[in-house]
C-alpha cells in the first residue's frame, strides 16, 4: 500500500498547493514534496523484490485490484516496483524537491498554480514508474503531458506557446502510434488481462496469434516498430528530437530540470520495459538500425551542441547525445549494457538536472544565456560556477562521478555484445562522442566562466542566494556518492536486468 500512499500524498499536496495563496505556495510545496522523498527512500531501504517485474520476478510493494471488466478484458489497478523502477522513483521524488527549490527565484507569477502543477507532474511520474497494468500506466503516461504542457506554455520564455504546442503534438502523436501498436499486440494474445507481466510472459511463451491478415512474426515486427517510434519521440533520438531544444529553451529552469531529468527517462524506461523485454527477438533483429540511430544521436546531438551559442541549448542537445548512449546500452542486450543503460538513466537525470539548474542560476543573475554575452563569471559567483564546472566534468565522465559509472558500464556492455553485429565498431563510434562533449563543454566554460570579467547586460552581478545554491550542492553530492558507491542502485538494477538476458539465451558479460 505504500505506493498508493505515496501517490495519494503527492496528489493531495498538489491540490493543497494549488488552492493556497501565492505567498505560501513555494515553501509549502517544498515541505510537502519531502513526504514523497521520505516515502521513496523508505521503499528503497526496505526493498525486498528480486528479479524483473515483467518476467516473473518477485515484485516489491505490489497491489492488484480489479478496476473494470469490459469486452472480455480485465483492467486492473496493478502497481509495484522492481530494481529498474525503484531507482527511477527515487530520482523522481529527489529531483522534484530540488526543482521546486530552484523555482523560488525565477518563478514570480501564479506561484500556487506552478507548484501545484509540479507536484501533480511528480505524482503522475511516480505512477508511470510504478504502474504494471497497461491502462494504469498509459493514463499516468499521458497525464504527465498535461502539467508539462501548462508549465511550458504559461511560465515559459517568449516562444512558449509554440514550444508547448510542439511538445504536446509530438508526444501525443507518438503516444497514439504506440497505443495502436500495443493494442494490435494485446488483442492477438490469448489472454484477457492488460497486466504487463501477463502480456510479457504470454509473448515469451510464443502465444501470439494473427491480427486479421498479419501473421505473428509480421505483427510482432509492426508492433515493435510502432512502440519504438512512440517511445523514441519521448527519449528523444535523432531525427525526432526537434521538439526538445524548443521545449528546453522556452521552459523555465525548474521545468527544464524535470524535463531532462525525469521525463526523457520515461522514454528509455518504456523502451526497456516494452520493446526490449516484451519483444526481445524483434529487438535483436532490429539491432543494427537501432544502434545506428543511437550512434547518430550521440554524434549528431553532440555536434549540434557544439554549434550552439545559448548555454541552455548546449545542455539540451547534449541530452540528446547522452540518451543515445542509453539506447546503445539497451540494444547491446548484455548484462552491463542493460544495467548500464538503466544506471545511466539515473546518472543522466542527476547530471542534466544539475547542468540546467546551474545555467538557470547564472541566468537569474545575468539575464542572458548567450555565450558571447559574458565572461569571467568565476570571479563574481564562485560557488555556482565551480559547481557548474564539477557538473560539466561529471557530464564528460570524470571517474568517481555517476556519469563515469553509467557510460563505462554501457561501453563495456556494448563492446562485448553478441546480439549487435559489429558491436565494437558502433561502440567505438559512440565513444567518439565523449570527445566532442568534452570539446563543447570546455569551450563554452572557458569563454563564459573564466578570463576577464565582462557582462553585456545591465544587471548588477551578485552572489547567488543560498536557496539557489543548495539544490546544486545536493545534486553534486548525489552525483559523487553515486559515482563512488554505484552499488547503491547498481545491485538492484542488475538483479532486475540480468533475468532479461535469458530471453535471448544469455549474452556475453
Partner 1 sequence: MSLLLQATTDWAFSVRALAPVLLVALSGLAVLGIDSLWPDERSLELVAGTAVAGTLSALGLSLWYLASGTGQPGGGGAIRLFSETIIVDGTALFFIAIVTSVAAMVSVASYDYLEADENPGSYYSLLLFATTAMTLMAVANSLATVFVSLEMASLPSYALVAYLKTNRGSVEAGLKYFLIGAVSAAVFAFGISLVYGATGTLLLTDIAAQIGGVGDLDGILGVGILMIAGGFAFKTASVPFHFWAPEAYEGAPAPISAFLSSASKAAGFVVAFRVFAVAFQPALGVAIDWGLLFGILAVVTMVLGNFAAATQTEVKRMLAYSSIGHAGYALIGLAAVTADANPANASVMGAAMAHLFVYGFMNTGAFLFIAMVEHWGIGRTFEDYAGVGRKAPMASLAMAVFMFSLAGLPVFGGFFSKYILFLGAINAGFWWLAAVGAVTSALSLFYYSRVVKALWFEEANGSLDALDSKPTGLYAAVIVAGVVTLLLLPGFGPVIETAEAAAAALFA
Q: Which residues contact partner 1 (rule: CB under 8 A)?
A: 67-73, 110, 113, 138-139, 141-143, 146, 150, 153-154, 160-161, 164-165, 168, 172-173, 175-176, 180, 183, 187, 212
What are 202's three cell numbers? Answer: 504470454
Alpha carbon of 152 to those of 165, 167, 295, 312, 480: distances in Å? 9, 9, 30, 15, 31
Smallest separation (angstroms) from partner 1 to the CB of 138: 6
Query: C-alpha cell of 468?
Result: 539557489
Q: For the chain, how far is it from start to end, CA to CA, in angstroms?
A: 37
Q: Cβ(212)–Cβ(183) under 8 Å?
A: no
Q: Are 149 and 161 in contact (CB under 8 A)?
A: no
- Measure CA 467 to chain center: 25
Q: Which is nearer to partner 1, 5 or 187 (CB)?
A: 187
DSSP state, residue 24: G
Least Cβ distance, residue 151 to partner 1 (angstroms): 11
User: Could you tell me the smallest distance in angstroms from the CB atom of residue 153 to partner 1?
Assistant: 4
Q: How far is the CB of 106 from partner 1 (least distance, A)?
A: 18
Q: Which is nearer to partner 1, 145 or 354 (CB)?
A: 145
- Minimum distance, C-beta of residue 397 to partner 1, in the bound complex (Å): 38
- Residue 34 or 187: the one with the smaller Cβ distance to partner 1 is 187
Give the nearest distance from C-beta 165 to partner 1 in angstroms.
7
The answer to whether the beta carbons of residues 329 and 337 sit under 8 Å apart is yes
| Least spacing, CB of residue 234 vs partner 1, in Å | 15
| Comparison of 59 and 164: residue with beta carbon closer to partner 1 | 164
φ, ψ (nearest 5 deg) of residue 324:
-60, -40
Is residue 89 classed exposed, middle or buried when 0-12, 13-18 and 19+ CB atoms within 10 A define those classes?
A: buried
Closer to partner 1 at the Cβ: 10 or 318? 10
> In the complex with partner 1, which residue's Cβ is closer, 23 or 456?
23
Rank residues 183 and 480 by Cβ distance to partner 1 and give the closer one.
183
Which residue, 28 or 50, has its beta carbon nearer to partner 1?
28
Q: What is the DSSP string of 368-388?
A: --BGGGEE-HHHHSHHHHHHH
What's the rounded Cα separation, in Å, for the pair 141 and 149?
13
- C-alpha 377/C-alpha 397 separation (Å) is 24
- Backbone phi, psi, residue 84, to 5°: -85, -45
CB of 322 to partner 1, least distance (A): 29
Q: Which three cell numbers stand for residue 347?
A: 546518472
Q: State the nearest-atom distance from the C-beta of 172 to partner 1, in Å.
A: 6
Residue 120 or 359 having the CB closest to partner 1: 120
Q: Which of these, 236, 3, 242, 255, lies nearest to 121 by C-alpha position?
A: 255
Question: Closest CB to partner 1 among 168 and 489?
Answer: 168
What is the number of H-type helices and E-type strands within the chain? 22, 4
Give min distance, CB of 279 to partner 1, in A: 21
Among the residues of 188-215, which ranges form H helices?
Answer: 196-204
R_g over Cα of the chain? 22
User: Is residue 89 within 8 Å of 349, Cβ to Cβ?
Assistant: no
The three-class DSSP label of residue 166 is helix
Amino acid at each position: 500500500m505504500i505506493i498508493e500512499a505515496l501517490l495519494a500524498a503527492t496528489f493531495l499536496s498538489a491540490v493543497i498547493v494549488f488552492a493556497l495563496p501565492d505567498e505560501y505556495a513555494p515553501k509549502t510545496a517544498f515541505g510537502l514534496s519531502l513526504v514523497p522523498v521520505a516515502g521513496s527512500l523508505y521503499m528503497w531501504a526496505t526493498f525486498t523484490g528480486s528479479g524483473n517485474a515483467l518476467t516473473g520476478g518477485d515484485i516489491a510493494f505490489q497491489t492488484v485490484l480489479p478496476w473494470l471488466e469490459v469486452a472480455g478484458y480485465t483492467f486492473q489497478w496493478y502497481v509495484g516496483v522492481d530494481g529498474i523502477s525503484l531507482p527511477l522513483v527515487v530520482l523522481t521524488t529527489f529531483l522534484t524537491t530540488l526543482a521546486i527549490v530552484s523555482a523560488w527565484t525565477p518563478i514570480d507569477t501564479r506561484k500556487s498554480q506552478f507548484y501545484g502543477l509540479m507536484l501533480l507532474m511528480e505524482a503522475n511520474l511516480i505512477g508511470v514508474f510504478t504502474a504494471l497494468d497497461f491502462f494504469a500506466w498509459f493514463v499516468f503516461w499521458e497525464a504527465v503531458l498535461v502539467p508539462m504542457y501548462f508549465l511550458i506554455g504559461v511560465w515559459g520564455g517568449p516562444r512558449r506557446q509554440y514550444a508547448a504546442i510542439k511538445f504536446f503534438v509530438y508526444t501525443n502523436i507518438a503516444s497514439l502510434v504506440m497505443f495502436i501498436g500495443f493494442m494490435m499486440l494485446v488483442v492477438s494474445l490469448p489472454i484477457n488481462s492488460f497486466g504487463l507481466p501477463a502480456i510479457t510472459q504470454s509473448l515469451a511463451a510464443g502465444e501470439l496469434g494473427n491480427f486479421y491478415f498479419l501473421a505473428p512474426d509480421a505483427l510482432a515486427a509492426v508492433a515493435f516498430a510502432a512502440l519504438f517510434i512512440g517511445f523514441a519521440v519521448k527519449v528523444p533520438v535523432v531525427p525526432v528530437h526537434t521538439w526538445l531544444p524548443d521545449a528546453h529553451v522556452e521552459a523555465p529552469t525548474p521545468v527544464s530540470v524535470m524535463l531532462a531529468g525525469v521525463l526523457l527517462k520515461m522514454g528509455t524506461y518504456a523502451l526497456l520495459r516494452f520493446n526490449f523485454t516484451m519483444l526481445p527477438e524483434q529487438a535483436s533483429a532490429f539491432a543494427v538500425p537501432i544502434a545506428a540511430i543511437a550512434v547518430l544521436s550521440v554524434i549528431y546531438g553532440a555536434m549540434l551542441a557544439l554549434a550552439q551559442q545559448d548555454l541552455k541549448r548546449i545542455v539540451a542537445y547534449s541530452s540528446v547525445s547522452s540518451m543515445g548512449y542509453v539506447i546503445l546500452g539497451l540494444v547491446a542486450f548484455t548484462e552491463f549494457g542493460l544495467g548500464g543503460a538503466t544506471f545511466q538513466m539515473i546518472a543522466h537525470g542527476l547530471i542534466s538536472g544539475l547542468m540546467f539548474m546551474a545555467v538557470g542560476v547564472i541566468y537569474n543573475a545575468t539575464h542572458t544565456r548567450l555565450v558571447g554575452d559574458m565572461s569571467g563569471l568565476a570571479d563574481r559567483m564562485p560557488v555556482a560556477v565551480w559547481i557548474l564546472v564539477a557538473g560539466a566534468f561529471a557530464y564528460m565522465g570524470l571517474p568517481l562521478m555517476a556519469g563515469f559509472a553509467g557510460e563505462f558500464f554501457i561501453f563495456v556492455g556494448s563492446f562485448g555484445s553478441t546480439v549487435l553485429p559489429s558491436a565494437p565498431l558502433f561502440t567505438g563510434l559512440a565513444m567518439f562522442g565523449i570527445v566532442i562533449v568534452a570539446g563543447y563543454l570546455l569551450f563554452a566554460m572557458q569563454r563564459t566562466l573564466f578570463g576577464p570579467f565582462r557582462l553585456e547586460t545591465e544587471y548588477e552581478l551578485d552572489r547567488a542566494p543560498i536557496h539557489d545554491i543548495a539544490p546544486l550542492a545536493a545534486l553534486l553530492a548525489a552525483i559523487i556518492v553515486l559515482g563512488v558507491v554505484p552499488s547503491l542502485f547498481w545491485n538492484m538494477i542488475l538483479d532486475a536486468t540480468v533475468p532479461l538476458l535469458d530471453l535471448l539465451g544469455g549474452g556475453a558479460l
